[in-house]
């Protein structure tokens, strides 16, 4: 179902939105252009870039440029992180000048190096600063601005509802909530039910995030949260087709969960061994097209490992991957695995 991501912002406001989008979450070191290309090839219509530091945008750091590379894909949102409203606003304006059509503000990153700069989820401890950042970014650009946050800093300070109300008043177009506090990091289980209170407090779209890995968890998360859409992060590692499978299942409930749909050279079907390996090859090819060879090798070893995690002898495969030093060697390994299982 081809739906322009920006229809979401208008239709939900008018209470006319029957379609629940499934969105690729921003993941540092993961959602680069090659990964987003693979996910988009399976039919996902809204994807997020890696988290980009606002100060790095202003300094035009080369690596930051790579992280924001769109390849003329206007369905990619760029996520900015920072603690200074003026710098965040300036960075957002610069990014929009590159043709980006959606800015996302990070109020959710829990990692220490981000939190120690008073950015990411640390901003949830300071609602005034959160308001200043959102207002400044919204004023600086003429595209939709969304926010991704957690339930709060810890169990004693779960103020996502308050920040959501501030966001709505600031002109924010959409809110994504990861169902954990910062102190939880990624431990325990995401609390989807807690997001329902946030959804009930605002009229703008609310998207549920955290621990959604398949059709079953997606449906449960939607029911418990009452959210307008789903955002998937770690569940897409090694399974980039999962977003489209969930999209079809929740928006076309009579459609079988397993299907075969050719799309730009990749076959979408139930997660067969053949599909995993073929997709791993395509993903690796994209990385060697995008990065210089040394970087491509380094990243490919990790990414291909995600696709092969289903193998019974995964430890042996990972050792083999760690010794590979060229594109040809990676393709040779994957071709060998394909030959062993046969084309299904």
Q: Which residues pair with 230 in a beta bridge?
A: 22, 208
Q: What is the sign, positive or negative, of the torsion defined by CA atoms of 41, 15, 80, 91?
A: positive
The C-alpha atoms of residue 179 and residue 190 are separated, in whole angstroms, by 5
Q: Is 109 annotated as catalytic?
A: yes
- Name the catalytic one among 10, 75, 96, 109: 109
Beta-sheet pairing, 266-268 with 261-263:
antiparallel
Side-chain half-sphere CA neighbours of 282 within 13 A: 22
Q: Which residues contact 287 (CB under 8 A, 6 or more apart)?
A: 34, 296, 299, 300, 303
DSSP 46-110: -EEEEEEEHHHHHHT-HHHHHHT--TT-TTEEEEEE-S-HHHHHHHHHHHHHTT---EEEEE---
| Cα 227 to Cα 342: distance, rounded to the nearest angstrom | 42
279 and 306 in contact (C-beta within 8 Å)? Answer: no
**Rounded to an integer, what distance in angstroms lies between the CA atom of residue 246 and that of residue 315?**
30
Q: For residues 280 and 307, is the Cβ–Cβ distance under 8 A?
A: yes
Pick from 224, 222, 269, 227: which is nearest to 245 by CA? 269
Residues noted as catalytic: 109
């Amino acid at each position: 179902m081809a739906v322009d991501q920006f229809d979401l912002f208008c239709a939900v406001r008018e209470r006319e939105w029957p379609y629940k989008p499934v969105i690729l979450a921003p993941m540092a070191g993961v959602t680069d252009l090659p990964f987003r290309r693979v996910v988009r090839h399976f039919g996902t219509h809204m994807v997020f870039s890696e988290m980009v530091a606002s100060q790095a945008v202003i300094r035009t750091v080369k690596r930051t440029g790579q992280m924001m590379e769109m390849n003329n894909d206007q369905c990619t949102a760029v996520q900015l992180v920072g603690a200074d409203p003026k710098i965040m606003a300036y960075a957002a304006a610069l990014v929009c000048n590159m043709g980006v059509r959606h800015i996302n503000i990070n109020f959710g990153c829990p990692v220490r190096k981000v939190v120690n700069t008073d950015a990411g989820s640390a901003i949830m401890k300071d609602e005034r600063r959160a308001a200043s950042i959102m207002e400044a970014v919204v004023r600086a650009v003429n595209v939709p601005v969304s926010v991704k946050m957690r339930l709060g800093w810890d169990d004693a300070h779960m103020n996502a509802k308050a920040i959501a109300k501030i966001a709505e008043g600031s002109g924010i177009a959409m809110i994504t909530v990861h169902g954990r506090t910062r102190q939880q990091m990624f431990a325990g289980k995401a609390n989807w039910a807690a997001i329902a209170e946030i959804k009930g407090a605002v009229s703008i779209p609310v998207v549920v995030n955290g621990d959604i890995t398949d059709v079953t968890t997606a449906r449960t998360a939607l029911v418990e949260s009452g959210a307008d859409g789903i955002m998937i992060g770690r569940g897409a590692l090694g399974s980039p087709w999962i977003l489209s499978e969930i999209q079809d299942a929740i928006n076309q409930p009579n459609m079988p969960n397993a299907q075969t749909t050719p799309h730009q050279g990749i076959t979408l079907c139930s997660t067969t061994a053949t599909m995993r390996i073929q997709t791993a090859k395509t993903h690796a090819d994209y990385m060697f097209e995008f990065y210089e060879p040394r970087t491509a090798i380094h990243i490919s070893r990790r990414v291909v490992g995600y696709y092969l995690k289903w193998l019974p002898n995964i430890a042996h495969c990972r050792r083999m991957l760690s010794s590979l030093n060229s594109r040809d060697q990676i393709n040779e390994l994957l071709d060998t695995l394909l030959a062993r299982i046969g084309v299904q």
